[in-house]
Amino acid sequence: VHGHAASLIPFGVTTVPLRPMYHMASFIGNGVPIFDIRKTFGMTDMLVSDSAKGRALAQALGNKTCVLMRGHGVVVTGPSIQHAVGRSVYLDINAKVQAQAMALGGSVTYLDPQEAQKMMDAGENRGYERPWELWKAKVTGK
C-alpha cells in the first residue's frame, strides 16, 4: 500500500523515530526506515517513477513492514491485502498517538521490541480479519 497520511510525514522529515505505541502497531517493532530519494537520485519530483527508483525504495524497505518516504508518504507491505491495509490503518493511528504522547512531555513508554515480536509470532492477533469487512464497507459506501 502506498499512502500520504499527514500523521506520518513528520516522522519522515525529522530525527524522531516512529515507534510502536500499542499492540496493533507491533509490526513496526523492529524499526521503520526512511527512504530519501534525493540521496540516490538528487533533486527529483519525489515520485518513484521507474525501476531504478523502485529498486532503491525496496532496498530501503529491506526486511521491514513499511518504509517512510521523506516528504512524501509511506509504503506498507504485508502477506495479504488485509494485512497491508490493516497495517496502514494502524500505522496512521500509531503516529497520531505517538505525537500526542510526545506532546504531553515526560518520557514515553513504547512497546519493547520483544513484546512486539511476541505479537508478530502470535500472528498479529488476527487483528485484520475482523475489521476487514468494515473497512471494505467504508470504501464502497455501504
pLDDT in tens, 82-107: 999 999 999 999 999 999 999 999 99
- pTM reported for the whole predicted model: 0.92
Residue 124 has pLDDT above 90, yes or no: no
pLDDT in tens, 14-63: 999 999 999 999 999 999 999 999 999 999 999 999 999 999 999 999 99
Name the grid cell of 134. 468494515
Name the grid cell of 24. 496493533
Instruction: Provide the pLDDT for residue 125.
Output: 73
pLDDT in tens, 126-137: 778 889 989 988
Instruction: Provide the pLDDT for residue 96.
Output: 98
Kindly write down the DSSP assignment for every residue of the chain, as one continuous string. Answer: -EE--TTTHHHHHSSPPP---SGGGGGGTT---EE-HHHHH-S--S---SHHHHHHHHHHHTTSSEEEETTTEEEE--SSHHHHHHHHHHHHHHHHHHHHHHHT-S---PPPHHHHHHHHHTTGGGTTHHHHHHHHHHHHT-
